[in-house]
């Protein structure tokens, strides 16, 4: 068998295969015997039809039948001989074969491109590390959220005030003020002075009591379109927040006994969350900087395969019904994510190979032991979870990612930036307005 490889680009290959009849003959004859078992000819039992008779009557069909089998066989042999691993289905062309003649064909396919890393020097890329500076309002907000999660509702008899809640039925009206059938929202809560209840609507709801009927225009969609509704008040309620006492503290944080301890624990969680946020953003910048430095080519079919899996995952998770999922929209939305992740996959692999990075079984076990030491009360559950190979693989991947990022860190010029959480809150509030 003669094999020639043509490199079209970093990821496309065209392989030309030529197989002489001497190599094909035995295979063709064996295939002919199988073919003869499917043939019914007067005077011959199935499987006993002489070759000459078969060729005279069915030669084109026999050649076609054999080629279908032989193409796959010799294509796979050629790939193995040349140590090639396609990442997509080959496009087979120029197939040429006739009985007692040689066979030739070409196959185009994509492979995972081999990435050559550039020579890296210190300060090869710039990355920013954010230090978040939190304040007392962050702590107050978390504690207020905890109080709201354990709040109770009390009926207000004197009329609705700002920050009260109105339980009501909302009936949509047409342009003439007549109720539209099928457009009634029952038992909905409206916060007085929250969401759509502001400006003129706020004034209309102030003082509202049970059994009142109030007409107002409510925003219905992102475009800001408004429709008229009749609001039938069922009840007016106010939120009563619990006192920060021993009972409340024990309920929300078993590790605290005083308000000072609760606030200290909340502050630690806030600090840890912001540190994790900073770490994730920094590591993302580090990997993005390396991707930009290498700028690897990737096989389009690898991205298509990634998007296929993403669509399948969304279907399996039930995020959208089988008939509702717009696959084209999913692919369009995640195209850039898929391309970025594919580039990182290739760069990551090159870093591992060129630096001979590895994660040992001992490394994985050490990491599991850390988890056990941290949560001794959950020893059995943790041990059971990490007996599953796929869960151990996840730890292995995380440890390898850390090794790769630690390696890249030595080439990074880091600029530290302080960001006050007060500014983040102001931005979020501005966005919501």
The number of C-alpha atoms within 13 Å of 259 and in the hemisphere containing its C-beta is 8
Residue 266 confidence (pLDDT) = 96
Q: How far is CA 90 from CA 11, 12, 71, 83, 95, in A?
A: 13, 11, 11, 16, 13
Question: What percent of the chain lies above the pLDDT cut of 90?
Answer: 64
Residue 191 confidence (pLDDT) = 87
End-to-end CA distance of the chain: 72
Q: What is the average per-residue pLDDT within 402-420?
A: 94
> Could you tell me the pLDDT band of residue 51, with boundaries at 50, 70 and 90?
confident
Closest CA to 284 of 127, 122, 121, 124: 127
In sequence order, the 6+-apart residues with CB closer than 8 A to the CB of 344 are: 287, 291
Q: Is the pLDDT of residue 321 over 70?
A: no
- Between helix 361-374 and helix 389-409 the angle, nearest 10°, is 100
> Could you tell me the pLDDT band of residue 196, with boundaries at 50, 70 and 90?
low
- Mean pLDDT taken over the chain: 89
In sequence order, the 6+-apart residues with CB closer than 8 A to the CB of 267 are: 134, 138, 139
Instruction: Provide the 3-class DSSP secondary structure of residue 60.
Output: helix
Q: What is the average per-residue pLDDT within 341-359?
A: 94
Q: What is the average per-residue pLDDT within 330-358?
A: 93
Q: Could you tell me which residues are beta bridge partners of residue 12?
A: 110
Give just the sign of the alpha carbon dihedral 248, 253, 256, 260.
negative
Least confident among 79-83, 201-205, 233-237: 201-205
Residue 411 confidence (pLDDT) = 94
Q: What tokens appear for 129 in the block?
A: 């590390």
> Could you tell me the pLDDT band of residue 38, with boundaries at 50, 70 and 90?
confident
> Could you tell me the pLDDT band of residue 46, with boundaries at 50, 70 and 90?
low
> Could you tell me the pLDDT band of residue 352, with boundaries at 50, 70 and 90?
very high
Q: What is the average per-residue pLDDT within 369-376?
A: 88
Instruction: Provide the 3-class DSSP secondary structure of residue 113.
Output: coil
Residue 329: exposure state from Cβ atoms within 10 A (0-12, 13-18, ≥19): exposed
Closest CA to 275 of 415, 127, 131: 131
Q: What tokens appear for 352 in the block?
A: 């591992």
Residue 230 confidence (pLDDT) = 92
**Residue with the larger pLDDT of the pair 20 and 376:** 20
Q: What is the average per-residue pLDDT within 317-338?
A: 79
Question: What percent of the chain lies above the pLDDT cut of 70?
Answer: 93
At the topology level, CATH places domain 2-110 in Alpha-Beta Plaits (3.30.70)
DSSP conformation class of 320: S
Q: Could you tell me which residues are beta bridge partners of residue 106?
A: 16, 93
Residue 195 confidence (pLDDT) = 64
Q: Is the pLDDT of residue 433 over 60?
A: no
Query: Please, are residues 229 and 169 in contact by the beta-carbon 8 Å criterion?
Result: no
Q: How far is CA 350 from CA 123, 146, 344, in A?
A: 20, 47, 10
Residue 197 confidence (pLDDT) = 66
Q: Cα(25)–Cα(14) distance, rounded to whole angstroms?
A: 26
Closest CA to 74 of 177, 156, 147, 1: 1
> Could you tell me the pLDDT band of residue 55, with boundaries at 50, 70 and 90?
confident
> Could you tell me the pLDDT band of residue 68, with boundaries at 50, 70 and 90?
confident
**Taking the CB of residue 68, how many other CB atoms lie within 10 A of it?**
11
Looking only at the bridges linking them, the beta strands covering 412-420 and 125-133 are parallel
The number of C-alpha atoms within 13 Å of 75 and in the hemisphere containing its C-beta is 20
Q: Where are the domains of the chain?
A: 2-110, 114-150+257-292+357-433, 152-240
Residue 80: exposure state from Cβ atoms within 10 A (0-12, 13-18, ≥19): exposed
Q: Is the pLDDT of residue 185 over 60?
A: yes
> Could you tell me the pLDDT band of residue 210, with boundaries at 50, 70 and 90?
very high
Asked if the domains 2-110 and 152-240 are classified in one and the same CATH topology, the answer is: no
Q: Which residue is it, tokens 């295969």?
A: 17
**Taking the CB of residue 37, how many other CB atoms lie within 10 A of it?**
11
Q: What tokens appear for 293 in the block?
A: 């430095």
- 215-267 residue pLDDT tens: 988 877 666 788 899 999 999 999 999 999 999 999 999 999 999 999 999 99
Q: Is the pLDDT of residue 416 over 60?
A: yes
Q: Is the pLDDT of residue 419 over 90?
A: yes
Q: Cα(197)–Cα(191) distance, rounded to whole angstroms?
A: 7
Closest CA to 122 of 358, 413, 324: 413
Residue 431 confidence (pLDDT) = 63
- 377-390 residue pLDDT tens: 888 898 899 999 99
Least confident among 9-13, 63-67, 172-176: 63-67
Residue 400 confidence (pLDDT) = 95
- For the domain covering 152-240, report its CATH number: 3.10.50.40
């Amino acid at each position: 068998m003669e094999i020639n490889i043509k490199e079209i680009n970093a990821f496309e290959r065209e392989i030309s295969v030529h197989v002489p009849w001497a190599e094909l003959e035995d295979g063709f004859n064996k295939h002919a015997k199988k073919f003869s078992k499917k043939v019914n000819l007067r005077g011959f039992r199935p499987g006993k039809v002489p070759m000459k008779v078969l060729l005279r009557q069915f030669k084109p069909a026999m050649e076609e039948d054999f080629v279908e089998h032989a193409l796959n066989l010799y294509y796979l042999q050629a790939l193995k001989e040349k140590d090639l691993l396609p990442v997509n289905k080959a496009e087979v062309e120029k197939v040429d074969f006739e009985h007692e003649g040689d066979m030739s064909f070409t196959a185009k396919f994509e492979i995972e491109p081999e990435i050559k890393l550039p020579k890296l020097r210190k300060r090869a890329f710039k990355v920013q590390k954010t230090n978040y500076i939190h304040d007392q309002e962050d702590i107050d907000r978390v504690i207020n959220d905890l109080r709201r999660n354990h709040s109770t509702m009390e009926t207000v008899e004197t009329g609705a005030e700002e920050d009260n809640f109105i339980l009501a039925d909302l009936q949509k009206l047409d342009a003439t003020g007549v109720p539209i059938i099928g457009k009634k929202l029952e038992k909905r809560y409206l916060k007085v002075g929250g969401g759509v209840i502001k400006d003129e609507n706020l004034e209309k709801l102030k003082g509202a009591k049970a059994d009142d009927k109030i007409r107002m225009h409510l925003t219905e969609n992102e475009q800001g379109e408004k429709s008229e509704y009749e609001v039938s008040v069922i009840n007016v309620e106010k939120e009563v927040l619990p006192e920060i006492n021993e009972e409340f503290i024990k309920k929300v944080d078993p590790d605290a006994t005083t308000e000072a301890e609760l606030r200290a624990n909340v502050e630690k969680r806030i600090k840890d969350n912001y540190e994790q946020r900073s770490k994730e953003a920094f590591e993302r910048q580090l990997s993005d900087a390396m991707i930009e430095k290498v700028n690897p080519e990737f096989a389009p079919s690898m991205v298509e395969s990634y998007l296929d899996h993403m669509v399948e995952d969304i279907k399996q998770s039930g995020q959208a019904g089988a008939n509702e999922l717009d696959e084209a929209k999913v692919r369009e939305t995640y195209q850039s994510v898929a391309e970025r992740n594919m580039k990182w996959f290739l760069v990551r692999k090159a870093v591992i190979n060129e630096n001979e990075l590895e994660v040992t079984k001992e490394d994985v076990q050490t990491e599991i032991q850390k988890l056990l030491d941290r949560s001794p009360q959950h020893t059995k559950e943790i041990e059971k979870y990490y007996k599953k190979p796929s869960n151990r693989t996840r730890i292995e991947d995380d440890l390898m990612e850390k090794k790769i990022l630690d390696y890249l860190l030595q080439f990074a010029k880091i600029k530290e930036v302080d960001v006050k959480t007060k500014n983040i809150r102001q931005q979020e509030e501005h966005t919501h307005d």
